[in-house]
Amino acid sequence: MASASANGANALLVSVVLLATLCVCTATSPYAAGLSEDFYHTSCPQAASIVDAYVTKFLKKDRNFAGAFNRLQFHDCWVGGCDGSVLLNSTETNQAEREAHVNFGLRGVAEIDEIKAGLEDFCPGVVSCADILILAARDATAKVGGPTWSVALGRRDGVNSTALMADTNLPFPVLNFSGLVANFAAKGFGAREMITLSGAHTIGRSHCNGILPHLYNFTGRDDATDTDPAMNKNFSVFLKKLCPQGNRTNTIFIDSTANTFDRAYYKNVLQGKGIFITDSTLITNPVGKKVVTTFSKPRSSFFTEFAAGMVKMGNLGVLTGTEGEIRKTCQFVNE
């Protein structure tokens, strides 16, 4: 009887161990297949620290580069996946993504190439431009007061880049709420995640190119009075001084605290001070307005959710293994 009881106990223990092992093995990873946090552990152990040092250098020169690096990750990952294609130059026969209308004024490409050159000195042919983008966006966000997050690496660089793909996939700054929801849904993101990642506008600057429709062509009349009626009147006067009708090249900070990652963006939107139509439209939907209001308050989950959104974005369409290549310089495919 005692032997039978012991055998039963042993069988139960084995079952528990097997179940625990199964649970560990089938635990869902937050990263795409082929990516890992220690990918360069042996091939280039100093990779992350080198990127971090360069980002610190660039932010000391211009703290607003934090917004540029954030924008680069989004504009890269949203078009065919996180493969560094946004960095490629056009050729005689191809207009690359950087030439797209939606990429007007894109900054940070030369800086990413400088980081790449520094990495090539230590670990030639190892670290991809795609991974540099992901690391730079994370490091820059944290250095200007935002959240940090774990980054999985192992992406490889793509060899295709077209302006048409960028203009087809990226959201133009004139989309309304439903248009934004549809654009993000196509990439597997919900409405709340869209509002969360819109919070990247808390840092950075923009050329007037994307702001003019909000000031002079909101309903399609294309005149000086065709301004979004929901925009704060004093704010619209202020913007029109910085962005006169027809001037596409002047630059303006997107947020009242544009060099600091904080919740001011959401407060500005609630006050009718959204720079783009895509900012102001967030509160035209009751669900959107509720999320914006929540994120505008201290101790909200905005930072945590933003970090999770950036990790999820970093998984889009990654090339791993033998796919793609590791570019020698980020603006050119290898010969």
Answer for the pair 259, 144: CB distance below 8 angstroms, yes or no. yes
Answer for the pair 252, 173: CB distance below 8 angstroms, yes or no. no
> Residues marked as binding for heme b?
201
d(CA 47, CA 134): 12
d(CA 294, CA 46): 39
> Residues marked as binding for Ca(2+)?
76, 79, 81, 83, 85, 97, 202, 255, 257, 262
* From 41, 75, 207, 214, active-site residue: 75
> Residues marked as binding?
76, 79, 81, 83, 85, 97, 171, 201-202, 255, 257, 262
Examine the residue annotation and report whether 75 is marked as an active-site residue of this protein. yes
Q: What is the CA radius of gyration of the chain?
A: 23
> Residues marked as binding for substrate?
171
Residues annotated catalytic, as ranges: 75
